[in-house]
Structure 1
Amino acid sequence: MGKSRFLGEFEQYVLLAILRLSEQAYGTTIRQVLFDVIQRDVSIGALYTTLTRLEEKGLISSRLGEATAERGGRAKKYFVVTGEGKRALNDTRRSLDAMWRDVKLSFVGVSK
């Protein structure tokens, strides 16, 4: 992996969305999962910028599907998380879990 062995928040969300979608992970479906699960409305441009960066880092790979008439003859670009991407997710999760260990948050005046 590049400079850092830990992922940023949005990178984690995108990788997890791809894993959730399995064989159906392409731009529109990834964007929909982000909205449905974490209520984050992401522009398709911002999503593809992140997807490109993750692919350049070797954390995901892509393939083109068949061209379809409903897309004006364009093919969908499908994404899959690589082994390196899974390792990066796992390393990031372990580091966050370690940082949260023994942390107690108190909320004065806030009901549970």
Structure 2
Amino acid sequence: MKLHLGEFEEIVLLLVAAHDNDAYGLSIANAIEKDLDRKVTLSSVHTALYRMEEKGYLESEVGGATNERGGRSKRIFKITSLGRQALESSRQTRNMLWDKIQKPSYNDL
């Protein structure tokens, strides 16, 4: 079974997995900006998170309210086994494509 991810979805899914059960919209957006030096809107991150939750790649629950958020709670996301399969499928596809690139021979150097 091939599970396809777009480039942005793959980044968001990788970061959710890396945040180990403490991923939420703002933490993912901040990580994209810091780690990848890439501007992103919070709404685009939320859209990707909800879309992947609908696909079964993520699951979420509402966390407790915090003072720093003005008493509002945040939605915490975690990757599912199907999400891990999607990431592995994406990795295999990328590796297969990288393997198709001809490596320079010593004569070309």
Task: Give, in whole Å, the separation in 1 of the partners of 2:100 and 2:58.
Answer: 34
Higher alpha-carbon deviation: 21-30 or 5-14: 21-30
Any stretches of 5+ residues in structure 1 without a counterpart? Answer: 107-112
Structure 2 match to 1:110 = none
Structure 1 match to 2:35 = 37
Identity of aligned residues (%): 38
Task: Give, in whole Å, the separation in 1 of the partners of 2:34 and 2:102.
Answer: 30
- Superposition RMSD in Å: 1.8
Give the TM-score, by structure 1 length. 0.84
- What amino acid does structure 1 have at the position aligned with 2:61? R
- What amino acid does structure 1 have at the position aligned with 2:35? V
Q: Which runs of 4+ in 1 moved over 4 A?
A: none
Structure 2 match to 1:80 = 78
Say yes or no: does 1:90 pair with 2:71: no
Structure 1 match to 2:107 = none
Task: Give, in whole Å, the separation in 2 of the partners of 1:77 and 1:36.
Answer: 21
Task: Give, in whole Å, the separation in 1 of the partners of 2:96 and 2:13.
Answer: 21
Give the TM-score, by structure 2 length. 0.87
Count of residues in Structure 1 that have an aligned counterpart in Structure 2? 104
- 1:73 aligns to what SS in structure 2? coil
